[in-house]
Amino acid sequence: MKQKQYRAGVSSANRVVRHLKLGPKPGADVSAAVREIDELFGIDEVSVKKKGGVLNVAYDAGRLSIENIEQILSSHAIGLSNDWWTRWKEKQYRFTDQNVKDNAAYVPGCCNKLPPEVGG
Tell me what percent of the chain is helix, strand and coil, each rounded to the nearest 5: 35, 20, 45
pTM of the model: 0.79
- Which pLDDT score is estimated for 28? 58
DSSP for residue 29: -
Overall number of domains in the chain: 1
8 domain residue, yes or no: no
DSSP for residue 77: T
Are 58 and 16 in contact by the 8 Å Cβ rule? The answer is yes
CATH of residue 82's domain is 3.30.70.100
50 domain residue, yes or no: yes
From first to last of the 120 residues of the chain, give the pLDDT tens digit.
567 787 777 777 888 999 999 887 655 578 888 999 999 998 999 998 888 789 999 999 988 999 999 999 999 888 899 999 999 999 999 999 999 998 887 777 777 767 677 655
Domain span at residue 61? 15-105
CA distance 14 to 31: 26
Tell me which residue of 25, 100, 103, 30 sits closest to 66, measured CA to CA: 100
Are 31 and 25 in contact by the 8 Å Cβ rule? The answer is no
116 domain residue, yes or no: no
Q: Tally Cβ neighbours within 10 Å of residue 53.
A: 18
101 domain residue, yes or no: yes
Query: Edge-to-edge strand order for the sheet containing 54-60?
Result: 15-21, 54-60, 43-49
